[in-house]
Amino acid sequence: MGKSLDELASYFRPLAERLIKAAAAADIVVTIVSTGRTPAEQEDCLRRGTSWTRRSKHLAQPPENKSEAIDICPKELIGTKMWSPASGLWDTLGAIGKGLGLRWGGDWAAPKTDKPHFEYIHSVAI
């Protein structure tokens, strides 16, 4: 699994960079856990129970064939059990990401919440 911002679609990368910068401004230093994935890596995530879909935005997405998702974790939670899902840091990160117009996995229905996950939302023309 990739951890490089270079794996993100050009229209998503600036938002991911703003998310990371805004987190730091809120005194939350994050580490990038995942950006792009190959289909084999996605299948491995499904087997391990760290993903629930074969249509992950971490996979290459048209039109650029790059990822439209990023998983991040506060550095202070790395090494804690399941990255301390009850920590208030996740709610702060979620609010930052949603304020940038991103979809946050922390809003997904339990038990499949995915607090480290942020993804691009395409605008729909009406």
pLDDT tens, 13-69?
999 999 999 999 999 999 999 999 999 999 999 999 888 889 999 999 999 999 999
What are the start-end ranges of the E strands in 11-96?
A: 30-34, 69-74
Q: Which two tokens stand for residue 24?
A: 């730091």
Contact between 34 and 58 (Cβ < 8 Å): yes
Query: Can you tell me the mean pLDDT for 98-109?
Result: 95
5: three-class secondary structure by DSSP? helix
**Per-residue model confidence (pLDDT) at position 125:** 63
61: three-class secondary structure by DSSP? strand
**Per-residue model confidence (pLDDT) at position 124:** 67
Whether residue 11 has pLDDT greater than 80: yes
